[in-house]
Structure 1
Amino acid sequence: MLPASLVLVLASLLLAELAASPALAFDPPTYNATVWKAFAAKTLLTPFPELHTDPYEASPPINTTWPAVPVCAVVYPNEPDRSSYKLATFPTRAAAEAAPATFVTHLHPCGLCSTTQDLAVYMAKPDLTDPVRKCGLETAFDKKLALDCLLDIGFSKPCAQIWMYDAINSFKHCLEPCIKAWIEHTPNNVPPNSYNMNPCLACDQEKSGPVFGVVAARIRRDSGLRSSINRPPSSIANITHYYY
């Protein structure tokens, strides 16, 4: 029999190893068509207004300092009927989870892409890089074509509009690295399976990401969703979507 002191040491080492193990990081589930189709079919009772001006050209510039604590939640006012819903920003996750018929849908305040329709798009299409890039190229010729392209992906109109303006801004600032990545079929992460984004995605995140994040609000990792862009497990919020 091992001495008690040695058992304690081994137990401590095992616990430390388990605590550091990536297996204990949040492992986002994959949602099937039943789930995302249910979310896509819901009606938002207080729709967002359309976005008629480019937020990247705002004067003064948009404050991109993201409040860390608030969360956006789906609220079902007619529970158990979940065909319609409202969106509400709560001061903390605990406050949202304590409210009746209320479910946290992503970290940070609500915005144009917080709708369940847009959540459904993110669920159904884990890799939006290529389809959104295709729509983004349309902005060089016709904004309406670009917007229609984004609407065809399934986004709500206000969400499609901020995606369009994101593409316009990235076209201005990231054209060279993005054309190069497109021609060379560069993977999203370089080297593959690392957390380093390719130069196009890195440029987009730096030049367009801050404004997009504040205006759109919903991004994959803050919604607990997988992405085709490899991210550190610690950056993915522990949020699940079984409130459909």
Structure 2
Amino acid sequence: MSVDPYPRYPYNTFIDLWRDCYAVPSIHYHSVSRDVYLLRSLTAAEAATVPGARRTHKSACGVCSTLEDLEVYKNTTDLTTPVRNCGLKSLLGFDLKACIRSLGFSDA
């Protein structure tokens, strides 16, 4: 075989290193408590023009987790036990992804 059948970089994800991830208040939802946020990849200059923007982490949003997944992490004290149980159930033939989704995680 003259051609390597495996891709050199199987996870070809572009990560915009010039932007950081910010939580910005959503103007599309009318939340009385103002607790509805969206994640946006912004430069520092762009973020300075968005009222209430708060940097959540370095580099672009969505590379590692969705906003829904971050909420699961925030609201669940112990994920080790339920995720481990999903892994054990998968050894018995249960659908691992369905089990993880049942904990609140997205398909991302």
TM-score normalized with structure 2 length: 0.59
**Aligned partners of 1:132 and 1:150 also within 8 Å:** yes
Q: What's 1:124 paired with?
A: 75
TM-score normalized with structure 1 length: 0.31
**Aligned partners of 1:70 and 1:108 also within 8 Å:** yes
Residues 97/121 of structure 1: CA separation in 2 closer, same or farther (3 Å cut): farther
Is 1:150 the counterpart of 2:100? The answer is yes
Q: What's 1:91 paired with?
A: 43
* Structure 1 residue runs of 4 or more that deviate by more than 6 Å after TM superposition: none
* Cα drift, residue 69 of structure 1: 5.2
* Cα drift, residue 139 of structure 1: 3.7
Percent identity for Structure 1 against Structure 2:
32
Residues 128/91 of structure 1: CA separation in 2 closer, same or farther (3 Å cut): same
For the aligned residue pairs, the C-alpha RMSD in angstroms reads 3.4
Radius of gyration: which is bigger?
1
Identify, as 1 or 2, the structure richer in strand: 2
Which of 66, 71, 75 pairs up with 1:114?
66
- How many equivalent pairs are there? 97
The superposition leaves residues 88-112 of structure 1 with CA deviations (integer Å, 9 ceiling, x where unpaired) of 11134x6435522322233321116
**Aligned partners of 1:75 and 1:103 also within 8 Å:** yes
Q: What's 1:4 paired with?
A: none
Residues 139/107 of structure 1: CA separation in 2 closer, same or farther (3 Å cut): farther
* Cα drift, residue 71 of structure 1: 1.7
Determine the C-alpha separation between the residues in 1 that align with 2:77 and 2:13: 26
Determine the C-alpha separation between the residues in 2 that align with 1:135 and 1:126: 17
Determine the C-alpha separation between the residues in 1 that align with 2:66 and 2:57: 8
Determine the C-alpha separation between the residues in 1 that align with 2:14 and 2:26: 31
Structure 2 counterpart of 1:90, one-letter code: L
> Where in structure 2 are there 5+ consecutive unaligned residues?
1-5
Which of 8, 11, 21 pairs up with 1:72?
21
The superposition leaves residues 191-214 of structure 1 with CA deviations (integer Å, 9 ceiling, x where unpaired) of xxxxxxxxxxxxxxxxxxxxxxxx
The superposition leaves residues 128-168 of structure 1 with CA deviations (integer Å, 9 ceiling, x where unpaired) of 223222222344424xx32232123222x234xxxxxxxxx
